[in-house]
Amino acid sequence: NAGVTQTPKFQVLKTGQSMTLQCAQDMNHNSMYWYRQDPGMGLRLIYYSASEGTTDKGEVPNGYNVSRLNKREFSLRLESAAPSQTSVYFCASSEINGGADTQYFGPGTRLTVL
């Protein structure tokens, strides 16, 4: 079991470039999430997908789009990268367990926008 995997691990972009961050999970979880982590800000939810075929905005969705490709994969796209999107991005997945929402995180993608 690999758990949650993310690619790439590191990326440097120039302002205005686009890219897609990939995430996959092999735990047969229904829900998947994208967070960004900035110093002193904790983890902030960008988008989530409660189940295959659905996506919803989180706390900080501006400048991002997502695609739930199938039950395993959930991608995050930056159409026109800005320096404010320099951050560490984490993907997570969960299966409802008695009403709890135990989330399992990937190793992260470190993105720098110049």
Partner 1 sequence: GENVEQHPSTLSVQEGDSAVIKCTYSDSASNYFPWYKQELGKGPQLIIDIRSNVGEKKDQRIAVTLNKTAKHFSLHITETQPEDSAVYFCAASIPNSGYSTLTFGKGTMLLVSP
- Give the footprint of partner 1 on this chain (CB under 8 A): 4, 30-31, 33, 40-45, 48, 50-51, 58-59, 90, 92, 96, 98-108
CB of 99 to partner 1, least distance (A): 5
CB neighbour class for 59 (10 Å; exposed up to 12, middle 13-18, buried from 19): exposed
- Distances in whole angstroms, Cα of residue 101 to Cα of each of 72, 86, 97: 18, 28, 7
CB of 61 to partner 1, least distance (A): 13
Nearer to partner 1, 63 or 107 (CB): 107
Nearer to partner 1, 42 or 53 (CB): 42
